[in-house]
Amino acid sequence: MSRLIVVSNRVAPIKGKTSAGGLAVAVLSALRESGGIWFGWSGEVVQTAAVEPTVVKVGRITYALADLTSDDHNEYYNGFANRTLWPLFHYRLDLTAFDRRCFDGYLRVNDRLARQLVPLVGEDDLIWVHDYHLIPFGEALARHGCRAPVGFFLHIPFPASEVLVALPYHQELLRTLFAYDLVGFQTDGDLRAFHDYVEREVGGSVDPDGTVRAFGRTTRAGTFPIGIDTDDFAALPAKAEVQRQIKRLKSSMGDRQLVIGVDRLDYTKGLVERLQAFEQMLETYPAMRGAVSLLQIAPPTRGEVPEYADIRRALEAVAGHINGRFAEFDWVPIRYLNKSFSRRALAGLFRGSRVGMVTPLRDGMNLVAKEYVAAQDPDDPGVLVLSQFSGAARQLDAALIVNPYDSVGVAESLHLALTMPIEERIERWAALMEGLRRDDVAAWRNTYLDALRRYSAAA
Ligand code: GDG
């Protein structure tokens, strides 16, 4: 079996348990199986970046870590990746910064990282590059003489071309995607948007077999929806420490029901709209006052990007407003926690909650939706309320699908979820779980890597 090289902006912690999220779980098990390298940013910002990455070998996995200078960090990471591509690809043109200097920094860092990786690449290796930070990485590899097969997977949405073309250098960026042997997207909608861009904006063409031609180059593109390690997640609530925590949660709630939301504190996750829909539910259904609380966990991320401080303030204000309006001396409607929990603790909180609210305004997939379902008690499962704008909604159609902008509609669905008879809850949950077991993270990884091997052998 050829050796795998995974490239992502951040590398999972080398030491400690694999309590990491979806990407890390998928990648680690593949690397353990075939042996290989995980290459990415060390997380360190230094004055002068070393020419070679730091290499640490643990079992069959070699971690290769590169540092960034503070200019790199500002222009590549905080700048073009998180202030341009992230908001733009999530349809937030109003929050998108257009700064050529940051784009140049992004290209420069991609080039340098690729140059650092090339000496580590062997003849039979297979390279898998992840996400929006690293779109030009494949082209940079080729520039530095790498001939190994290289695939790319985009974890976030691919936007409609009307949105994408607002980026002044969209062609310069998008042509680099054609250096890959395979470009993977989360959903058919993302793939369609990519095809549409190719055909209508740059006069390219798409063959029925998935071959895409543009800029005088050829690549393949397909849909590979990411999954979770379903059985592993489903086993977490049975652990003794998680059982203890579920008990504690239940005794804090008494007879009341809990609705849970878990999201990085990000403006794409629809947190303010979610709280407003919860408020709407309390307004429309007064019997719910005192009977249900929303536990919102929102660990802060990307604190150096100003838009993230804004969303934090907005969320605090709306949570405060709702609690001020409805709270009683023995009940608060919103429990808002601005910190992170262990994976196990999250599984316990999911298990203890009657409803999981996953209502992003845009999301490539959303793994929390899948984790919430996997953590449920098969005999008494909770209900998932899921945004139509998440990639997950394409697969999890037995959830209650909502439009997160429609607070009245979300409030109705939430009420329906809270009052749903047990037979219907079990039926919906079983249908969701069947899909999650079939399309798990191993299936995602294997389908993608098989396709990459096939296409690169045919090229
Ligand atoms: C990107 C795309 C796509 C959250 N809080 C805590 C915690 N988490 C974990 C969740 C989940 C992961 O982080 C978040 O994954 P999501 O998929 O929900 O969202 P993004 O971070 O935006 O991920 C997304 C994903 O990539 C994969 O392709 O689905 O669309 O945006 O696993 O459980 N984990 C722990 N403590 C927390 O407080 N331990």
Q: For 308-330, what is each residue's pLDDT tens digit?
A: 999 999 999 999 999 999 999 99
Dihedral pair phi/psi, residue 273, rounded to 5°: -60, -35
Residue whose CA is closest, atom 23 of ligand 1? 366
Same-domain check for residues 420 and 324: yes
Residue 90 annotated in active site: no
Q: What are phi and psi of 299, to 5 degrees?
A: -65, 135
Same domain, 452 and 387: no
Q: How far apart, in whole angstroms, are the C-alpha atoms of residue 303 and residue 74?
A: 13
Residue ID of nearest Cα to ligand 1 atom 26? 155
Both structure tokens of 276: 């407003």
93: which residues sit within 8 A by CB, 6+ positions away? Answer: 87, 163, 166
Q: Which atom of ligand 1 is nearest to 371's Cα?
A: 33
| One domain, residues 194 and 291 | no
Q: Is 310 in the active site? A: no
Whether residue 249 is predicted with pLDDT greater than 90 in this model: the reply is no
Q: What burial class does residue 207 get, using C-beta atoms within 10 Å of its C-beta: 0-12 exposed, 13-18 middle, 19+ buried?
A: exposed
pLDDT for 18 beyond 60: no
CA of 23 to the centre of ligand 1 (A): 9
Residue whose CB lies within 8 A of the most ligand 1 atoms, among 264, 295, 337, for a mutation test:
264
Q: Are residues 27 and 112 in the same domain?
A: yes
Q: What is the pLDDT of residue 252?
A: 86
Return the closest-CA partner of residue 400 out of 292, 293, 277.
277
Quick one: 433 and 446 in the same domain?
Answer: no
* The predicted structure's pLDDT at residue 424: 98
Q: Which of 73, 90, 133, 155 is catalytic?
A: 155
Question: Ligand 1 pocket, 367 CB below 6 A?
Answer: yes
Q: Give the tens place of pLDDT for each residue, 393-452.
A: 999 999 999 999 999 999 999 999 999 999 999 999 999 999 999 999 999 999 999 999
CA distances from 182 to 138, 226, 438 (A): 11, 16, 23
Q: Is the pTM of this model over 0.95?
A: yes
Cβ of residue 340 lying under 6 Å from some atom of ligand 1: yes
Nearest alpha-carbon partner for 175 in 139, 133, 221: 139
- With a cut of 90, say whether residue 158 has pLDDT above it: yes
What is the CA(259)–ligand 1 centre distance, in A? Answer: 18
Tell me, yes or no, whether 212 and 276 share the same domain: no
Q: What is the pLDDT of residues 98-134, one digit of tens each?
A: 999 999 999 999 999 999 999 999 988 999 999 999 9
* Total tally of structural domains belonging to the chain: 2
Tokens of residue 403, six digits: 């439009």
Percent of residues, the chain, with pLDDT higher than 90? 83
Is residue 342 within 6 Å of ligand 1 at its C-beta? yes
Q: Which of 190, 363, 439, 440 is catalytic?
A: 363
Residues 284 and 424 in one domain: yes
Verify that 222 and 241 share a domain, yes or no.
no
- Given a cut of 60, whether residue 373 has pLDDT beyond it is yes
Q: Domain range spanning residue 205?
A: 4-227+441-458
Ligand 1 atom nearest to 269, measured from its CA: 22
343 close to ligand 1 (CB < 6 Angstrom): yes
Q: Which residues contact 340 (CB under 8 A, 6 or more apart)?
A: 297, 299
Nearest 10 degrees: Cα torsion 140, 42, 5, 451:
-80
Q: How confident is the model at residue 19 (pLDDT cuts 50, 70, 90)?
A: very low
C-beta 356 within 6 A of ligand 1 = no
pLDDT of residue 167: 98
Based on the domain organization, do 432 and 447 belong to the same domain? no
Are 212 and 273 found together in one domain?
no
The overall average pLDDT reported for the chain is 94
Largest CA distance in the chain: 69
Q: Tell me the CATH number at 37.
A: 3.40.50.2000
Q: Same structural domain for residues 199 and 256?
A: no
Ligand 1 mutation pick, 187, 366, 390, 444, max ligand atoms within 8 A of CB: 366
* CA-based R_g, the chain, Å: 23
Residue nearest atom 36 of ligand 1, based on CA coordinates: 341
Same domain for 133 and 236, yes or no, is no
User: In angstroms, what is the span from residue 311 Cα to ligand 1's centroid?
Assistant: 18
Region 209-230: what's the mean pLDDT? 96
Q: Which of 155-169, 334-348, 381-395, 423-437 has the lowest mean pLDDT?
A: 334-348
